[in-house]
Amino acid sequence: MSTQYQQLCSLVRRSGVLGSIGALVSWDQETYMPPAGAAFRAEQLGLIAELHHKHATDPKIGDLIAACEADKALLANETIAANIRELRRDYDRMTKLPTSLVSELATTTSQAQEAWKHARQNSDFAAFVPKLERVFELTRQKADCYGIPAGGERYDALLDEYEPGASAKEIEATFTPLRAKLAALIHSVAASGKKPDTSILSAQIPADKQHAFGQMILKAITFDLEAGRLDVTTHPFCSGVAPGDTRLTTRYRDEKFTDALYGTLHEAGHGLYEQGLPKAGSPEGLFGQPLSEAISLGIHESQSRMWENLVGRSREFWVWALPHAKQYFGAAMANVTPDTMFAAVNTTTPSLIRVEADEGTYNMHVMVRFELERALLSGAMKVKDVPGEWNRRYKDYLGIDVPDDRRGCLQDVHWSAGLIGYFPTYTLGNLYAAQFWETIEQEIPDVKAKISRGEFAPLREWLRTKIHAHGKRYRAADLCKRITGKPLSADPLLRYLGTKAKAVYGV
Amino acid sequence: MSTQYQQLCSLVRRSGVLGSIGALVSWDQETYMPPAGAAFRAEQLGLIAELHHKHATDPKIGDLIAACEADKALLANETIAANIRELRRDYDRMTKLPTSLVSELATTTSQAQEAWKHARQNSDFAAFVPKLERVFELTRQKADCYGIPAGGERYDALLDEYEPGASAKEIEATFTPLRAKLAALIHSVAASGKKPDTSILSAQIPADKQHAFGQMILKAITFDLEAGRLDVTTHPFCSGVAPGDTRLTTRYRDEKFTDALYGTLHEAGHGLYEQGLPKAGSPEGLFGQPLSEAISLGIHESQSRMWENLVGRSREFWVWALPHAKQYFGAAMANVTPDTMFAAVNTTTPSLIRVEADEGTYNMHVMVRFELERALLSGAMKVKDVPGEWNRRYKDYLGIDVPDDRRGCLQDVHWSAGLIGYFPTYTLGNLYAAQFWETIEQEIPDVKAKISRGEFAPLREWLRTKIHAHGKRYRAADLCKRITGKPLSADPLLRYLGTKAKAVYGV
């Protein structure tokens, strides 16, 4: 291996260490930071972002990348070639942003998240407007620094950060027909007149029992709790803080235990991906290199949605999980059967909160957000008009009235965190998950039987071998073709939802 | 104010922000980091220490200090002059250390703390020896970089970091007669034949009830929980992480609730100091400047020991606290009176664990550590000989046999954390606390009556005005003279302990 490549890897590792410090400080902001620490926290995050950006855009790194690109013998190694390809991409993107903008974005979004927390609590969108406007302003600047791709729009420059290679036009082309088909599905479910018994979902289960059950589930699906944690936050998330340190969060509502359960399964899906990435902490490890990082948010989300839905909402999952639930939750679960649970967690009912939405309606929530952030970014819409536009679309797409902004446009942390261009990856994740699953059922024919016996390791192993272990070696679209033999399509998701609707509603 | 002074303050603030990030990352290592994150955590802390040291020793800072020192008009302001005096001291000390040593010390002590945790658990000192040897080796290098003061010894170079201006010879001169007088006190207590009833200390109190009680106590003594937290760690500590963010830890033993109670009061004493320092988070605030920092560890410890002992072990404290304890702990406290509690928490009995030792024997523990680390540092003693020397001194000074290293030389985190030269400040803290207290009783004549009514704010206000608000404006010895009118002396502590021995043992 060339000395220059080794130097490059060591410099890149330093960026990774700085990034991991930022991730920990952000995690703390959401979990244990006392309220009065918030103002100063923004300054800490701003400085880390500045140091990270300064280091990652050091011309020394650019020179070393160029030297490696010129080294034909080095590039003959496909693994190294992939690493250098991605390092080039990252470096070129990052050097387009001035450090001052990066630092200001970190400070502003740290503040905006605090403003959002309060605004959400009080359902007071007006109080959030100034900070959100500033976030969009800075994000527009960021997009313009990246540059708008030929034939594309400003949104693409941001989307490319989360889903390399994707564009708003393509997303729209996938979403528009999907919306029509989902609307038809939602309509026929409603027309069936069937109402599965969902009373079990209102059982009162104290948070501590839910937490113990959640920890048991994590162990069962092989999430390594010696190398991770589960805490409580307003908005659940997963942070792959560092090698050996992957942190999940969830939230407990005594009166709806499935919220925390599916939230935990979702974040654990992300967490298994993080734990499966080849980022061993040893100084010789790949940590900091693209080969140890996730491909894209769409692929990341395919992992979380697979564990949450394809696994966690299957009948087989409840065959295994129900006896455990009865043990942890006692009398509340006495008369429940796997079939009751399966039907209860697979109803299709338009609702207000994305993270609690069922699989049939979930993607409608995503489409609303995609359309709004795209318009906000282009300037076609103003921040102050968000509540009205939000509520109008919820009426259009889901037929429901939004009673207040807390349960409307203030429900998600993303925009306050500067994560604009991120939402469509949720639906991409659902599409990838369903398509991967059809291949999994071919390659592990008894996967469902295994799940009903609580044997999750073979599925986890398949995901690790086929997806996690490769880091960023392949682009999302290539990985999809490599694994499933076909380009990404909405058909598997629609087939999957159709089968469920048939099982639950007979339609 | 001069532009150069403003520039200096802004650069110094950046050091402060980096320091606060390191403090948070260290806090996390002791509280919530999953075990597998330990190896990489050392790398994170090493990088932060490196960045902090590089920034703090930037020649720009040296130039600005020199420019301010030459500005007579600026120095006419006493506050600014004190700030510049301390910035000069810090800068000169820090520039004596190479960044590589600072970074290696951070990495090594992070690793050594993990090694210590395991060694302590298994009472296996041999497993800890290699890491501890390395810590002492690097610490010796550090001391030699600072340089040995004329007429002094290597230990002084380290002590000066924790207690500016102190020396090992002076400490020895204070400790030697103190040891004799304490030995006499311990002897006469034993000879009295009296055994106060301590059965209440073995009451079984579940950790969650102790935690709730501890939180109530924190609120009562005006520790601001909106700007701080209380968590659980193996070794309790207080970290003034950042403006608005002061974190305490404690540990709960169901079978001895006073451990956590006094641990919490102790750390809260540190915490009140941190919260009282003028380090408001706003960019115009003093944060990062010496004027917003603690004077010395001795003064810091005077605050913790005051709340723990002078307040928390007084009869008046229990007049107020006991009805609350009965409410939180129920039947276990039924037949207890303030007098029983007062006697039970003021027994003098030689014991193994420093942080659980009574006031009469506590300083003996400190003296053992001071002697050993002084000898280890000079090279007069080898790390491998620590257990033997430790145990011999416990027999000599306290008349007790150490059954294993877990309860012997492995009990404290300090050496693994590179905190060498730190222990004597514990006894200095006791001396300062007792001397301050005599002044407090003159200046707030009804302070004890106030405590018996749970009115802690006047005492807290006195401490804030006289001590906390000044930051590093005065040196410890000067502050002591300023407040009490006299130089530091062991007499107030001996008077205080004598009075207690009389009350409890009649001697």
**pLDDT for res B45:** 94
B70 & B198 share domain: no
Beta carbons of A41 and B17 less than 8 Å apart: no
In-domain check, residue A261: yes
Taking alpha carbons only, the member of B224, B231, B241 closest to residue B264 is B231
**pLDDT for res B281:** 61
Is the Cβ–Cβ distance between A264 and A248 less than 8 Å? yes
In-domain check, residue A127: no
Average pLDDT rounded to a whole number, residues A116-125: 96
Cα distance from A130 to chain B (closest Cα, Å)?
20
Is the Cβ–Cβ distance between A249 and A222 less than 8 Å? no
Q: Would you say residue B460 has pLDDT above 90?
A: yes
Beta carbons of A32 and B287 less than 8 Å apart: no
Name which of A14, A25, A245 is nearest B33 (Cβ-Cβ). Answer: A245
Q: Which of A163, A267, A359, A371 is catalytic?
A: A267
Name which of A17, A44, A226 is nearest B43 (Cβ-Cβ). Answer: A17
Average pLDDT rounded to a whole number, residues B264-278: 97
Q: Would you say residue A284 has pLDDT above 90?
A: no
Q: Does A286 touch chain B (CB under 8 A)?
A: no
- Percent of chain B whose pLDDT exceeds 70: 99
In-domain check, residue A322: yes
B113 & B172 share domain: no
A57 & A113 share domain: yes
Where a domain ends, among A57, A91, A122? A122
Q: Read off the CATH number of the domain in which A250 is found.
A: 1.10.1370.30
Q: Does A335 touch chain B (CB under 8 A)?
A: no
In-domain check, residue B148: no
- H/E element holding A241? strand A238-242
Q: Would you say residue A380 has pLDDT above 90?
A: yes
Q: Does B40 touch chain A (CB under 8 A)?
A: yes
Q: Does B405 touch chain A (CB under 8 A)?
A: no
pLDDT category at A281 given cuts 50, 70, 90 is low
pLDDT category at A89 given cuts 50, 70, 90 is very high
Is the Cβ–Cβ distance between B320 and B452 less than 8 Å? yes
Q: Would you say residue B222 has pLDDT above 70?
A: yes
Beta carbons of A44 and B241 less than 8 Å apart: no
Beta carbons of B40 and A228 less than 8 Å apart: no
Average pLDDT rounded to a whole number, residues B226-254: 95
Cα distance from B186 to chain A (closest Cα, Å)?
43
pLDDT category at A234 given cuts 50, 70, 90 is confident
Q: Which residues in chain B are closer than 8 Å to A283, comparing Cβ atoms?
A: 43
**pLDDT for res A231:** 97
Q: B267 catalytic, yes or no?
A: yes
A336 & A463 share domain: yes
B311 & B403 share domain: yes
In-domain check, residue A137: no
B475 & B328 share domain: yes
What pTM, to 2 d.p., does this model score?
Answer: 0.93
Q: Which residues in chain A are closer than 8 Å to B230, comparing Cβ atoms?
A: none
Beta carbons of B229 and A48 less than 8 Å apart: no
In-domain check, residue B173: yes
- One-letter amino acid of B397: Y
pLDDT mean across residues, chain A: 95
Q: What's the sign of the alpha-carbon dihedral B148, B153, B157, B160?
A: negative
Rounded Cα distance between B76 and B506, Å, is 56
B193 & B68 share domain: no
3-state helix, strand, coil in chain B (%, to 5): 70, 5, 30
Rounded Cα distance between A178 and A351, Å, is 19
Q: Would you say residue A1 has pLDDT above 80?
A: no
Average pLDDT rounded to a whole number, residues A483-494: 96
pLDDT tens string A286-310? 999 999 999 999 999 999 999 999 9
Beta carbons of B243 and A24 less than 8 Å apart: no
Average pLDDT rounded to a whole number, residues B61-90: 96
Residue A232, beta-bridge partner list: A250
Q: Does A114 touch chain B (CB under 8 A)?
A: no
Q: Which residues in chain A are closer than 8 Å to B24, comparing Cβ atoms?
A: 24-25, 28, 44
Q: Which residues in chain B are closer than 8 Å to A244, comparing Cβ atoms?
A: 34, 36-40
Beta carbons of B32 and A281 less than 8 Å apart: no
Where a domain ends, among A61, A90, A122? A122
A113 & A54 share domain: yes
A482 & A345 share domain: yes
* Full domain range(s) for residue A357: 168-505
Average pLDDT rounded to a whole number, residues A169-177: 94
Taking alpha carbons only, the member of B251, B257, B233 closest to residue B117 is B233
Residue A177, both tokens: 């027909």
In-domain check, residue B390: yes
List, in sequence order, every beta strand (DSSP E) within B203-347.
228-232, 238-242, 245-250
**pLDDT for res A267:** 98
Half-sphere exposure of A119 (CA within 13 A, CB side): 23
Beta carbons of A37 and B245 less than 8 Å apart: yes
CA-nearest residue of chain B to A247? B34
B46 & B184 share domain: no
Q: Does B206 touch chain A (CB under 8 A)?
A: no
Q: Would you say residue A491 has pLDDT above 90?
A: yes
B128 & B228 share domain: no
Radius of gyration of chain B (CA): 23
Cα distance from B124 to chain A (closest Cα, Å)?
23
pLDDT tens string B344-392? 999 999 999 998 899 999 999 999 999 999 999 999 999 999 999 999 9
B129 & B192 share domain: no
Terminal-to-terminal C-alpha distance of chain B: 60
Alpha helices in B99-205 (DSSP H): 99-121, 125-146, 154-162, 168-191
Taking alpha carbons only, the member of B174, B151, B175, B170 closest to residue B159 is B170
Q: Does B20 touch chain A (CB under 8 A)?
A: yes
Identify the residue with better confidence: B355 or A205. Answer: A205
pLDDT tens string A13-30? 999 999 999 999 999 999
Q: Would you say residue B280 has pLDDT above 90?
A: no
pLDDT category at B1 given cuts 50, 70, 90 is low
Q: How many structural domains are present in chain B? A: 2
In-domain check, residue A129: no
**pLDDT for res B355:** 87
Q: Which of B267, B316, B359, B373 is catalytic?
A: B267
pLDDT tens string B419-446? 999 999 999 999 999 999 999 999 999 9
Beta carbons of A40 and B224 less than 8 Å apart: no
